Amino acid sequence: MVDFITTLPIVLLTLGLIPVAVSRQKRGAIGLSKRRHIAIRISAIGIVLTMFGAFSSVAQADDTTWTSRTSAADNEWNSVTWGNGLFVAVSDTGTGNRVMTSPDGITWTSRTSAADNEWNSVTWGGPTGQEKFVAVSDTGTANRVMTSPDGITWTSRIPATDSEWNSVTWGNGLFVAVADFPLDRVMTSPDGITWTSQTAAVKDWYSVVWGNGKFVAVGSSVTFAGAPVYRGEIMTSPDGITWTAQTSTASDTWRSVAYANGIFVAVSGTGVVKTSPDGTNWTSQTPAVNNPWNSVTWGGLAGQEKFVAVSCCGVGNRAMTSPDGITWTAQNSTVSNRWNSVIWGGSTGQEKFVAVSETGTANRVMTLATTTIGATTTTAAVTTTTTAAASATVTTLAPTATTTTVATTTTTVATATTTIATTKKVEKSESLPATGGNSATVVVIGLFFTVAGFVLLSRRKIS
C-alpha cells in the first residue's frame, strides 16, 4: 500500500502530461493556439493534484481509523489477549460460548468456556514449557479460574477464594490476580492451577501489571459522607506476595495500567491519565478527550510503538494513542460501542491492535492494522505484559536492537529470540501530510487549476 502511495504521484503525473503531449502534437498539426495549449496543461496539473490530494487523505485516514470486525457472538466481551499464535477474548454473557479465538483478529470462532461465569480478564503466561491461557471471573463457586493450553479447550480451576476477580497477569515467574470483593483481594499461582491468597489493602482492585521489577495494581475506594467520594488506589509488590499501598489520588477510579518504555501508564473511569517511572510517584497527563477510559496497552512495530487506550463513551473518539504516555491523540473508534479491552498481537506480518466491546451488533471487535514499508529486517526485544480488569487490559513491550523476546500481549513471557521483518506504519509526521487539512488543501488547489483550465478552454475567442 505504501509503495503504491509512493509511486502514485509519478503515475498521475505521467497521465496528466498525456493531454499536454497530445495538445502539442495537435497544435503542430492543426495550429491550436498557445492559449488552448496552456489551458490543457493547467487542467492536467489540476487533475493530478486533485486525485493525489484525495488519495493522500484516504491513506492518511487508514493510520487513525479502526475497522469493525464481527465477533463470534454478540456477548459482552471484557478482555482480549494474544498468545501462542492466537487472540483470545472472554465474556461475562452467553451460553457455552464465553470464549472466542482468532488467528488474525479478523475471523473469530466461539469456544466453550469451562463454566458460564462472568469472565473479566484473560492472560497468557507460565513457566517455559508450561505456558497457558488463564482467565479469572467474579462469579461461580470454586471455579473462578479456568486455564487452557491452546485457547480452545478450557479447564476449571479452584481459586484461592471466591472473590470477585477482575484482572490477572503473568510476571516474575508468577500469575497474580486482583479482586474488588470481599476481603481477599490478591492471589498468586506459579502455574495457573494452584492458587494462594496474599495479604493486600482492602480496596477495589481492577488491574495489575508487571514492569520495572515490580507488580503494580490500580483500583479505587469509596467513602460516604453524604455523596460518595471516590479515590484512586495504587499498590506495588516486588514479588506478588508482599504489597505496599502507595499514595491514593483524588477522584480517580483507575481501570487499567500498562508498563512499557520505562513508564507505567494508568487510565481511569473519570477520564484521567497518569504516568509513573516507578509505580510510586505519579504525574497527571492530559488525555486526548475526557472519556472514561477502560483499557490501555502498548504495542506496535519496531520504531512505531505506542500506547493505545479505549473507552466506553464518547462520539467517534473512543480510542486514543500516545508514543510516550504523555501526549495523546484521539482516534476514530469506527463505532460508538462500549470498548472494554485492547491488545497488540498477531503473527509476523499480520500484527495489529485488537479491541473488544460489550455492546454493538455484529461489530464487537475492531482492529487497527499496520502498513509495511520496504523489506528491511531487524531484531527487537519484545516483552509484553497485559492485564485486564472487568474491562481493562494492559501491555508492556520493550524494544531493543538485538533480541526479540516473544511474549504475549497479556503477560510478560520471555520465550524465544527471533528476527522479525521491520514493518512501518505510515505516521502523520512522515511522508503523508501532517493533517487531513493539508490533503484537503491539495484537493482545493487541484480543483482550482482544473476549473481554471476548463474555463480557459471554454472561452469563445481563442487566439
In tens, the pLDDT along 340-366 reads 999 999 999 999 999 999 999 999 999
Instruction: Output the nine-digit C-alpha cell for 297.
Output: 496497552
* Distance of alpha carbon 262 from alpha carbon 278, whole angstroms: 8
Q: Identify the residue with better confidence: 29 or 197.
A: 197
Average pLDDT in the chain: 79
Q: Which helix (H) or strand (E) holds 184?
A: none
Instruction: Output the nine-digit C-alpha cell for 393.
Output: 487490559
Distances (CA, A) of 227 to 56, 83, 353: 52, 43, 39
Residue 48 has a pLDDT of 64
Contact 178, 166 (CB under 8 A): yes
pLDDT at 119 over 60: yes
Q: Identify the residue with better confidence: 53 or 104.
A: 104
Q: Which helix (H) or strand (E) holds 133?
A: strand 132-137
Residue with cell 490477572: 168
Q: Which of 276, 318, 297 is nearest to 389 (CA)?
A: 297
Superfamily of domain 67-421: Kelch-type beta propeller (2.120.10.80)
Of 134-138, 345-349, 417-421, the range with the lowest mean pLDDT is: 417-421
Contact 407, 418 (CB under 8 A): no
pLDDT at 422 over 50: no
Could you read off the pLDDT of 376-407 as tens digits, one per residue? Answer: 333 333 333 434 344 333 333 333 333 333 33
* Distance of alpha carbon 259 from alpha carbon 218, whole angstroms: 12
Could you read off the pLDDT of 34-79 as tens digits, one per residue? Answer: 666 666 666 667 676 666 555 444 433 334 689 999 999 999 999 9
Residue 454 has a pLDDT of 65
Residue with cell 508492556: 396
Is the sign of the CA dihedral 327, 323, 415, 147 positive or negative? positive
* Distance of alpha carbon 407 from alpha carbon 385, whole angstroms: 8
Residue with cell 477522584: 251
> 419-455 burial, b if ≥16 CB within 10 A, otherwise e?
ebebbbbbbeeeebbeebebbeebbeebeebbeebee
Contact 368, 67 (CB under 8 A): yes
* Distance of alpha carbon 134 from alpha carbon 184, whole angstroms: 19
Q: What single-letter DSSP state applies at residue 332?
A: B
Q: Which of 389, 288, 313 is nearest to 78 (CA)?
A: 389
Q: Which helix (H) or strand (E) holds 169?
A: strand 165-171
Q: Which of 294, 296, 291 is nearest to 275 (CA)?
A: 296
Give span(s): CATH 2.120.10.80, the chain.
Answer: 67-421
Contact 26, 40 (CB under 8 A): no
* Distance of alpha carbon 354 from alpha carbon 335, whole angstroms: 14
* Distance of alpha carbon 208 from alpha carbon 170, whole angstroms: 9
